[in-house]
Amino acid sequence: MKITFCGAARTVTGSCHLVEVDSLRILLDCGFFQGARDQDASNRAAFPFDAKSIDFVLLSHAHLDHAGLLPRLVREGFSGRILCTRPTAEIARLMLADSAHIQVEDAAYKTRKARRRGEPAVSPLYNMDDVLRATELFRPVSGYGVATELKGKTACVFHDAGHILGSACVEIRTANGNLLFSGDLGNSHRPIVRDPSPPPRADAVLVESTYGDRRHRTIRESVAELEEAIRTVVPRGGNLLIPSFALERTQEVLYEMFQFYQAKRLPPCTIYVDSPLATSTTHVFARFLDYFDDEGRRVFAGQPNPFEFPALDYVETTDESKRLNTQPGGHVIIAGSGMCNGGRIVHHLRHNLWNDKSGVVFVGFQAVGTLGRALVDGARSVRIFGEEVAVRAQIWTVGGFSSHADQPALVDWIRRASPKHLFLVHGEPATLQAFQDVIARELRIESQIAAWKETVTI
């Protein structure tokens, strides 16, 4: 078996790994590079493989840093099958369609600027036709724990990763051993999704390392901090902004807001979900209650529920979104993107960051180079749409909402998998080194930090 690390190697995004086994060429994910200044160049760079030669893509979940380059893969000749869970297939269709829309709009904007300089037009990375062709190749597997034959004695099995709805750790079984790819591992005891399944023992393991250097605060502490932010900002007439990923994080925040509402701990306000993609994704969640944990199924069996209650309002149009910044404050605005590197949240930040009555709650990972990371790191002012904006709003970072496992959970997962060969992916360099040291100290296992375009044979 040969493994080539084609992304998420010494960086957190761009998940993509080529596995060559039994005459098969299999991709584990094919995702966007996100956050860095040169992300567009990275996403346009030549694949380290021939797209036409790939037989299967085994897609761990629908986040764009794992699925975002699938349409480009198809545009360049891939015609095999994309295996994933049913929720992943449904949600990825929405995520990729939204991504294509952004790609086309961004290319049109850059083309107008280029033509004024006498330069050639800029092509989108892909368009809606590419997305439709890619999603036609989706083949949902029967469920978690069920082997799907790839060829001969080679099969794949998807195990519940507990990261987002439908997320999976992907196992490749061969006649001579097995490889286990963690995808993104989730935390235990989180709302809606089930806890991660115990991993099978594996000969080789590729494990994500996003939070390999730290321990999360508990979800209980984080919920308390979220409530504190709401009860601090809303009564004083400021808006509380929550930059949130459309997939999973928005739904989890709504779940907790609903608990506040039911317990009469929510001050008078409207909770605005200002993201058409988040709204569409929320509707998909409601169709897959069989993937929820026991508590989630019980809560969603009644009315009202976390996705439909009186204090909640879904914002659809751009004009409706703009009106939020002209009305009196005292509300909660949940908007994308989660790292503040685009989307409607950027407009809300421009109108609220300078106001010391307002606040911002970060509930997700902020990659280096993003506006969100600058705010988390304490920037006193930031540049938005060419304008310098003072940061006077109160900033909260609520780490327990992370959908990624922390260091203790990752170490325990590796212990259970008991690999002979261990490769660390999906992490920033300092985090990877710290994680490698912990693994050596606590598990006595030798690990290798994967390098981009490196090929290993096992």
CATH number assigned to the domain covering 2-214+403-457: 3.60.15.10
Model's pTM, two decimal places?
Answer: 0.92
pLDDT for 161: 98
CA distance 350 to 321: 13
From CA 379, how far away is CA 164, in angstroms rounded?
31
Q: Quick one: pLDDT at residue 92?
A: 98
Rounded-to-10 torsion of CA 274, 280, 285, 286 = 100
Angle (CA) 18 44 98, round 5°:
95
Q: At what angle do helices 249-262 and 276-285 cross, to 10 degrees?
A: 80
| Structural contact between residues 14 and 31, judged by C-beta atoms closer than 8 angstroms | yes
**Residues lower than pLDDT 70 in the chain:** 36-37
Convert the pLDDT of each residue in 406-458 to its tens digit: 999 999 999 999 999 999 999 999 999 999 999 999 999 999 999 999 999 99
Q: What is the pLDDT of residue 224?
A: 95
Transcribe 50-119 into DSSP letters: -GGG--EEE---S-HHHHTTHHHHHHTT--SEEEE-HHHHHHHHHHHHHHHHHHHHHHHHHHHHHHHTTP
CA atoms within 13 A on the CB side of 294: 1
Q: What does the pLDDT read at residue 7?
A: 97
Residue type, 245: F
Q: What tokens appear for 275 in the block?
A: 């993201």
Amino acid at 225: E
pLDDT at 51: 98
3-state class of 240 per DSSP? strand
What is the domain class of 219-401 according to CATH?
alpha beta
Secondary structure class of 243 (helix, strand, coil): strand
Where, residue-wise, is CATH 3.60.15.10 in the chain?
2-214+403-457
Amino acid letter, residue 286:
A
CB-based contacts of 117, cutoff 8 Å, min separation 6 = none
Instruction: Give span(s): CATH 3.40.50.10890, the chain.
Output: 219-401
At 257-281, the pLDDT tens digits run 999 999 999 999 999 999 999 999 9
